[in-house]
C-alpha cells in the first residue's frame, strides 16, 4: 500500500488534516487572531488586544510592545517562574539594568509601584499590579549546567530546557546574541536575603481564592522588547522539572501621564520618567 505522504499532494493533505485535528488539544499557544482571546480582565476592550499567548513549562516568547501597552503575566496554576529581560525596542543597546533598578529605588524586592530601569537612566516598564509578591532580582536564570545538575539533562533540545538558552534563542531572532544577556529578573518564585547575606528561597505565593490567578501587570513606558522564559527557578529545591503554565496578555493603553501615581512616588522614580520623557521629545 502506498503511504499517504508519498506524494506532495498527499503530504499537503496530511499536514492540513493534522493541523485541523490537533490544534484544539494544545493549550500552550498564541491566540491568533488575538481578538478571539477569552477570559479578559474587566477593563480591557477586545479591540485593544495585541497579544495572548500561553507558555507551558520550558516555553519562551518575545514581543515588541508599544509605549503605554500593558503586559499581564498570569500564573495560571500557581507555580510558574517567569524570567524576564527588557530592551529598548528601537535601540536595544539600552536594556534592563537590574543593579540600577534595585540601587536607584533603594529596594531589592520587586512589587507593585516598582520601575524596571534601563542602563541609560530611564524607565523601561513599571509594575502596575502584583498579587504575588514572590519575585527575584538576585539569582541567575537557570542554565544548561544548572539543569544538568538538577535533572540530569539541561540541553535546550531535551526535556528540561533552561532560561539562559531560551533567552539566547529569543534574542537571536532580534539580531542579538549572548553578549546581550544582562542580569535578569524573575516573577512568581521568591528569593529574600537573610541578615548574614544568605538567600532564602520562598517559592510561590499562597494560592489565590478559587477561580483567581496570581498576576503581575507591567506597563511599557517606552517601546520595549520583552523576552520571557517560563522555566523552574534555579534555587527551586525540587529535583523534578516543576513549573506551571503562564498566560501572557497584552493590550494597547494610554501612555503614562504627568499625574501618574507611580511616576510621582519618589524623587528617583520621577527623574527616571523625566529622563525618558526628555529622551522621547
Partner 1 sequence: MKTVEGEAVAGVVALDVVVEARAPWSHVVRAGETLRIVDLAGNQAVDCILYNPHDTDERYSAQETVTAQGNIFLTTGTTLLSTEGRAMMTITADTCGRHDTLGGACSCESNALRYGHHTRHQHACVENFLLAIAPYGMGKRDMTSNINWFMNVPVEADGSLGIVDGLSAPGKYVDLRADMDTLVAVSNCPQINNPCNAFNPTPVRMIVYGPAS
* Contacting positions for partner 1 (CB under 8 A): 93, 97-100, 102-104, 106-109, 117, 119-122, 138-141, 143, 145-146, 177-184, 192-193, 195-199, 234-235, 268, 271-272, 274-275
55 grid coordinates: 507558555
Q: Is 139:235 a contact under the CB 8 Å cutoff?
A: yes
* Apex 124 CA angle, 222 and 85, nearest 5: 120
- Minimum CB–partner distance for residue 103 and partner 1 (Å): 5
* Residue placing its CB nearer to partner 1 in the complex, 4 or 177: 177
- Minimum CB–partner distance for residue 167 and partner 1 (Å): 11
* Residue placing its CB nearer to partner 1 in the complex, 22 or 196: 196
Residues 6+ apart with CB under 8 A from 80: 187, 188, 189, 204, 230, 243, 244, 245, 246
- Minimum CB–partner distance for residue 247 and partner 1 (Å): 26
* Residue placing its CB nearer to partner 1 in the complex, 62 or 184: 184
Q: Which residue has the cell 529596594?
A: 107
CA distance 113 to 175: 32
CA distance 28 to 247: 9
- Minimum CB–partner distance for residue 257 and partner 1 (Å): 20
CA distance 258 to 277: 10
* Residue placing its CB nearer to partner 1 in the complex, 244 or 275: 275
- Minimum CB–partner distance for residue 185 and partner 1 (Å): 10
Collapsed DSSP state (helix, strand, coil) of residue 98: helix
Q: Which residue has the cell 538558552?
A: 165
* Residue placing its CB nearer to partner 1 in the complex, 235 or 253: 235
Residue 255 DSSP class: P
- Minimum CB–partner distance for residue 273 and partner 1 (Å): 10
* Chain CA centroid to CA 148, Å: 23
* Apex 92 CA angle, 73 and 137, nearest 5: 45
* Residue placing its CB nearer to partner 1 in the complex, 117 or 253: 117
- Minimum CB–partner distance for residue 278 and partner 1 (Å): 9
* Residue placing its CB nearer to partner 1 in the complex, 51 or 160: 160
Amino acid at each position: 500500500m502506498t503511504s499517504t505522504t508519498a506524494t506532495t499532494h498527499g503530504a499537503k493533505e496530511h499536514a492540513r488534516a493534522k493541523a485541523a485535528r490537533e490544534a484544539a488539544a494544545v493549550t500552550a499557544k498564541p491566540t491568533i487572531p488575538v481578538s478571539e482571546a477569552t477570559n479578559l480582565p474587566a477593563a480591557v476592550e477586545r479591540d485593544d488586544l495585541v497579544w495572548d499567548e500561553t507558555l507551558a513549562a520550558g516555553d519562551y516568547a518575545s514581543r515588541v510592545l508599544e509605549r503605554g501597552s500593558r503586559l499581564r503575566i498570569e500564573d495560571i496554576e500557581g507555580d510558574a517562574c517567569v524570567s524576564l529581560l527588557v530592551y529598548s525596542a528601537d535601540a536595544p543597546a539600552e536594556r534592563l539594568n537590574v543593579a540600577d533598578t534595585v540601587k536607584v529605588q533603594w529596594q531589592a524586592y520587586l512589587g507593585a509601584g516598582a520601575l524596571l530601569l534601563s542602563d541609560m537612566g530611564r524607565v523601561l516598564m513599571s509594575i502596575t499590579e502584583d498579587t504575588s509578591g514572590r519575585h527575584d532580582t538576585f539569582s541567575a536564570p537557570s542554565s544548561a549546567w544548572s539543569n544538568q545538575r538538577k535533572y540530569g539533562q539541561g540541553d535546550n533540545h531535551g526535556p528540561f530546557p533552561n532560561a539562559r538558552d531560551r533567552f539566547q534563542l529569543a534574542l537571536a531572532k532580534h539580531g542579538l546574541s549572548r553578549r546581550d544577556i544582562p542580569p535578569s529578573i524573575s516573577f512568581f518564585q521568591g528569593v529574600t536575603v537573610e541578615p548574614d547575606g544568605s538567600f532564602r528561597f520562598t517559592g510561590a505565593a499562597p494560592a489565590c481564592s478559587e477561580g483567581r490567578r496570581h498576576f503581575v501587570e507591567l506597563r511599557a513606558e517606552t517601546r520595549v522588547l520583552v523576552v520571557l522564559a517560563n522555566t523552574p527557578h534555579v534555587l527551586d529545591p525540587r529535583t523534578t522539572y516543576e513549573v506551571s503554565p503562564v498566560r501572557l496578555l497584552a493590550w494597547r493603553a494610554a501612555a503614562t501621564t504627568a499625574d501618574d501615581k507611580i511616576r510621582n512616588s519618589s524623587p528617583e522614580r520621577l527623574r527616571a520618567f523625566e529622563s525618558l520623557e526628555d529622551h522621547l521629545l
